[in-house]
Structure 1
Amino acid sequence: MTDVQPDPRDPRPLIGEPLALDLLNTRWAGTPVNDLLAKPDGYAIWLSSAGLADRCRAAGSGLAALRETREVIAEAVQELCGQGQLGPEVVARLNGVLGHGRLRRELGPQGPTAHVEVDRPEWLASWLAADDFLDLLDRGAQRIKQCAHEACVLYFFDTSQNGRRRWCRMAVCGNRAKAARHYVKARG
């Protein structure tokens, strides 16, 4: 997602993770929890930031499908982070989302091509996010992580060489944790 410019209206603290995790990060810490997908205009902003605005319409039916997909991916990530594997229920739900589309490959004049086909247009963004989640599993399920800061609910894909990244953003969550440890040490 590095070649996509985020929408300047996007208020999220972490933008640009792989599509599946970027979808999860449409909810972030706050009281109440912030939810970019609470309204249709937030859906349009997310599509724009994800580079999908030219492929997907920001219609209510697509928003409902995307919210459903976000819940499925969130459940899957929680199971991975907690148990290290996916249970049969979440696998069935994820496959349900994936069942709305397929990747059709063919050979054209310029060589091999791949086209996503969905049964209904409102499922395109959801299918792409679910497909991206499968790609992340292939690349290393253990690298899908939740930020280690206790007040943060964001997720990231750890691309560090040693796989030891802990924070969604070191400049924010990492520094807060360091400052808290320093404060405790100084008082002790």
Structure 2
Amino acid sequence: MVTTASPFLWLGNHRALDFLNTEQLQRGARVDLLPDLRSLVAWCEEAGFLDGATAGCVLERWEGSPEAESAIEEARQLRSALRALIDERPRAQKAAAESAIGVINRALRLDAGYTEVVRARAGFTRRVHVQIDAPDQLLRPVAEAAASLLCDVDPELVKRCGNPDCVLYFHDVSRNHARRWCSMELCGNRMKVAAHYLRNRNG
């Protein structure tokens, strides 16, 4: 199901931020890259949360259904809740923060399979067995990634791109934590060219 012409960006250095980045600005307008179940399934597969066989079964069973529409609405709520918690920390009003946390916890309560420990070449590893009995269960691993981001990642290293016209986020794991752009290709070079132009014009 994964194609080489993927619309998704994988530059956040964290799956929760990659999920946030499914809403982008293109030519000044916000674009939702998760408009339907097929796009959500494709994102989950590319993120490594879903194997191809399970992805196909989910689409065959629920594509175009009311359950699929509900799952997409829940995905948008989860994305909005995570964005609110990141953007507003630490100044978020308590009621708003509790509401956003509630959205994440609701997704965490979804039963979407189980994890077991298995032997690996270098010791042990986790193996996740995904069982999807309803399309909203696709959001369980996304919510787990969100919980990991909020609980385990230094909030000072969760950044929004320095381009004011960009809404993409990333976890800054650079050596000196000096990363400013979502990527050099998308915004970094563009902003440097603009700054160079202004310096020359004003010089």
Counterpart of 2:75?
A: 66
The CA deviation at 1:177 is 1.4
Counterpart of 1:3?
A: none
1:7–1:49 CA contact under 8 A, matched in 2: no
1:106–1:114 CA contact under 8 A, matched in 2: yes
Gaps of 5+ in 2: none
Larger Cα-atom Rg: 2
Gaps of 5+ in 1: 1-5
The Cα offsets for residues 80-120 of structure 1, whole Å up to 9 and x where unpaired, read as 3x738983332222222222248966667886856578895
1:100–1:127 CA contact under 8 A, matched in 2: yes
TM-score (norm 2): 0.72
Deviates more, 1:30-39 or 1:151-160: 30-39
The one-letter code of the counterpart of 2:86 is: V
In 1, distance between residues paired with 2:115 and 2:43?
28
The CA deviation at 1:32 is 3.0
The one-letter code of the counterpart of 1:134 is: A
2:11–2:183 CA contact under 8 A, matched in 1: no
The CA deviation at 1:158 is 1.0
Residues 136 and 116 of structure 1: is their aligned pair in 2 closer, same or farther, counting only changes over 3 Å?
farther
Counterpart of 1:27?
A: 23
The count of corresponding residues between Structure 1 and Structure 2 is: 181
TM-score (norm 1): 0.77
The Cα offsets for residues 42-87 of structure 1, whole Å up to 9 and x where unpaired, read as 223323322234245244143333222212212222223x738983
Residues 150 and 43 of structure 1: is their aligned pair in 2 closer, same or farther, counting only changes over 3 Å?
same
Counterpart of 1:77?
A: 86
Identity %: 28
Counterpart of 1:122?
A: 135
Secondary structure at the aligned position of 1:28 is classed as strand
**Which runs of structure 1 show a deviation greater than 3 angstroms over 4 or more consecutive aligned residues?**
82-86, 101-121
